[in-house]
Chains A and B, each alone.
Chain A
């Protein structure tokens, strides 16, 4: 018999889907958002993107070398962390801050737990929150977009959510007039993190991921749905104080969070009910933090808190095994 005869347990065919393919698809899906960011924020956004991505790749190589593990940057996961981290930073982020974020994301957010698949928290968000708490000035210095070719310089200003929070803290009411329009926010013409700006570009990428079945609707739909319902309830109670749900949707990091950060497979539940619960939890926490917390934006904290709850959610949302009446088996 020929020496290359394979013996194995069934199945003997495979879908052909691999982790690097999945990761590459996620990277492709982020291209529109990155392009829009560079359009609105120019070279500063581009340099943040490059520093974050290269920083993450380099940190992964260093960590894996130090631990004597095979280097796996080719799987694309570190690159995704880098791009997502950049999208979660202000376009004016200084190079050292971006690089520090990259090191934190990969070293502390991922490799200390054992690398890909083992981290409980979304590495990019770990880095963002560490930076936000440690360097509040640099992390909350926002600039108004200066589209390429407009000749404008980046001018420091507040995000729409920050604008609202300041007004409410001072007067207890909505600001009389916001600087931008809802349509402008949706397209990305607002100050904010690099990736927060264009809901449209993010949704385009998400549509591709949904089509490729890398993303399922469960978490984004429940997350966004919960935000709409809860923020809508507050708005109906007191429209003078609370902004309407559309404002919540198109500003801040909700779309980025709901479609890219809260859907990180590693740090979210595996069962359908678990994912639904995760999305609802993220939505509740986001609205509560936005409306009543100290920070104007609550998406990062909401997702990290729900990441922490993921093992518990997994434990209590075991699917109902076929042929049993109760979840997790037993007739």
Chain B
């Protein structure tokens, strides 16, 4: 299906003497104003696609007849932006341009830091993984080196099976366990000469 753009851009063009329709008259006036603005260097950023296509024609014709040059100020700005873009810096930033090697180093610095951190994390995980069995053995050896009464241990041997009719004597059982633990604490304390 032909669109309005197709008609405008590729459809037949009337002869110069043909009377324009009101729609064409309005469009022609709008286009003339766009050309006005473009000639004075104020091309509006927003316009219809077909207007833009026609304006491109006007610009190409002007460019090939040497009417369009890059202003010296604009040229300096573009060159400066390009140099900064090449080294990955913001165009708005100021200061002199860094040499390529330094600039590249600056560009890759965040990736290098991230990569280094990842390597360190991976090494830590690997170390934990490899040392886990050895650590368990060490802990068993240390546990075996102290008397049993100094270690945490089950209280089953002290309390024994709890008969149903003694189920409410919990405080007595706690007293028994506390006395046993206190005894172990005293032994440990006295073994060090009373020092904590």
A in complex with B: no
**Which B residues form the contact surface with A (CB < 8 A)?**
none
Name A's B-contacting residues (CB within 8 A). none
